[in-house]
Amino acid sequence: MPKIIEHVHWPDAPNLWMPYAPVIKVRGGTTVYLAGVTAAPVYHHHPHRPEEFDAMPSDMEGQARAALDNLERGLKAVGASFADIVTADRFVTDLSDQDALNRVWAEYFGEAKPTTTTVQIVRLATDPRCLVEINAIAVID
């Protein structure tokens, strides 16, 4: 069965633009789970070496782009694109930076609107300079 992704809206929902879909229904396809990515290099030493993260951008816009570039590398590894993502979790260290994240998000996702959850957290595990981490689930044919 070919993959079918349906964006579902609640009955009587107002006609408003939103950067996400409230409900997504998927039939067919193969589910792909993408681990959380930040602006840091995906492949780095464990335990962490702080100098490996020195090249990260220091602002939310730059980190959002770097994180989404890392996510895109994972998608391409399985023959997927942002249009195949059905849900994503976004962890940020400061919700006041969410507008910058959403602007960059719109550039990468275009008309694709996965379900999303955005949560403010104290700190990300990779490096204390990380501002955003994104994980996702995609469905591919």
Given this model, what pLDDT does residue 17 score?
80
State whether residue 68 is helix, strand or coil: helix
Q: What is the DSSP letter of 42?
A: S
Nearest to 71 by CA among 99, 97, 33, 45: 33
H or E, element range at 100: helix 98-109
State whether residue 45 is helix, strand or coil: coil
Separation of alpha carbons 98 and 81, rounded Å: 23
Q: What is the pTM of this model?
A: 0.91
Separation of alpha carbons 12 and 14, rounded Å: 6
Given this model, what pLDDT does residue 1 score?
74
Alpha-carbon Rg for the chain in angstroms:
16
- pLDDT tens series, the chain, 141 aa: 789 999 898 999 999 888 888 999 999 999 999 999 999 999 999 999 999 999 999 999 999 999 999 999 999 999 999 999 999 999 999 999 999 999 999 999 999 999 999 999 999 999 999 999 999 999 999
Given this model, what pLDDT does residue 33 score?
97
Given this model, what pLDDT does residue 58 score?
98
